[in-house]
Amino acid sequence: MVLGKKMFYKACIILCLFIQNNALCKTILVTGGAGFIGGSVTEALLERGDTVIVLDCFVSLGHSRALEYNQLKRDRLAVLKNQYQENLYIYECSIEDVQSCDEVFKTHAIDVVCHLAAHAGVRNAMESTKEFIQTNIQGTVNILDLAVKYGVSHCVLASSSSVYGDSADVPFTETQNTDYQSSLYGATKKSLELIAHVYHHLYGVSTTCLRFFTVYGPYGRFDMAPFIFMDAIYNQKALTVYGDGTAIRDFTYIDDIVDGIIKSIDKPLGYQVFNLGSTHTIVLKDFINVIAQTVGKQSIITYKDGIKADVRQTHASVEKALLLLGYEPKALLKDGLQKMFDWYSKVITKECNE
């Protein structure tokens, strides 16, 4: 009889834990879920037991290795699909295609939208103005409209440090003026923040906009400085620096960004804007030296005239994110670059040599 009671209590505890765990598991739509940040968020969400719906159209603008980068995204998702099976759904469609996106929202009971799909990069935006406006602004409106239509109460959206324009007021804080954009890309992200506020105000959707500061790490974008520099140094090719190399950047390791995104997914806070940076800055020339040390080869640098859309400095204050989300960036640049180079050696150089 005593044993029976004990077993009953044990079963109750197991049942409670099961119910609790299931209640914590969410269904999350990750737009741009095949990309650098999106793929990493998808992986982390799957690891903790969530169901992830990836919506991505596998595009990459403004660089010669777009096909290769898109293939990398496909390969990465294929590995995750193989591992997580029915917890991962992948839809190849554009956020500009409202009808196809509607089908995705109709099919799945989505708890949270993590909207990362966009065209990115200040220089790319100068070449592809129309695409940036269509995807980053109209696409965002489409996703928020569908969130309202299907009763999704919380959306996390990717903004950018670019919204600070060429501000000299560092470290950047969320309350400072961001009316003066230096790039069309920054302007599309500022628009995203304004639109997100409208959807919160009119429809009560919780919208959290995250301003990412230059993210680097494994699976990094092929059109971004960390990858371009590492690749050039490894292959002993000249790398191009626009300007005199004294620009200052706050580089943020991918794991810290993923941590901030997941904390935001888990905590609806009405309308909010947060910086997600490392808070440590480095001059571009020194950054190149750290990569060269990591790779174990010399850099060959060609200087070209600076581009007006490139800002002089970025530097995040993350006090607000620490206070409200518990966001604490941990990675040191040296360690983050080492992890990126480990990945680069394993995945990229291997593919190139095959």
Residues that bind ligand NAD (CB under 6 A): 31-32, 34-38, 56-60, 73, 94-96, 116-120, 135, 139, 158, 160, 212, 214-215, 221
| 159 φ, ψ (degrees, to nearest 5) | -105, -155
Calpha distance 92→297 (Å, rounded): 39
Q: Tokens standing for 45?
A: 């969400």
| Residue 185 annotated to the active site | yes
Which residue has its beta carbon closest to ligand NAD? Answer: 35
- Least distance CB 311 / ligand NAD (angstroms): 13
Give the SS3 label for residue 90. strand
Contact yes or no for 169/224 (Cβ under 8 A): no
- Least distance CB 344 / ligand NAD (angstroms): 16
- Least distance CB 203 / ligand NAD (angstroms): 22
Residue placing its CB nearer to ligand NAD in the complex, 25 or 96: 96
Calpha distance 32→42 (Å, rounded): 10
Calpha distance 251→209 (Å, rounded): 19
User: Which residues face 27 on adjacent strands?
Assistant: 51
- Least distance CB 307 / ligand NAD (angstroms): 17
Which one from 91, 185, 234, 327 is the annotated catalytic residue? 185
Q: Tokens standing for 320?
A: 């607000």
Residue placing its CB nearer to ligand NAD in the complex, 100 or 289: 100
Residue placing its CB nearer to ligand NAD in the complex, 51 or 60: 60
- Least distance CB 54 / ligand NAD (angstroms): 9
Residue placing its CB nearer to ligand NAD in the complex, 260 or 294: 260
Residue placing its CB nearer to ligand NAD in the complex, 21 or 351: 351
Q: Tokens standing for 40?
A: 């990493």
List Cβ neighbours of 323 (8 Å cut-off, separation of 6 or more): none
Calpha distance 140→205 (Å, rounded): 14
Instruction: Please give the positions annotated as active site.
Output: 185
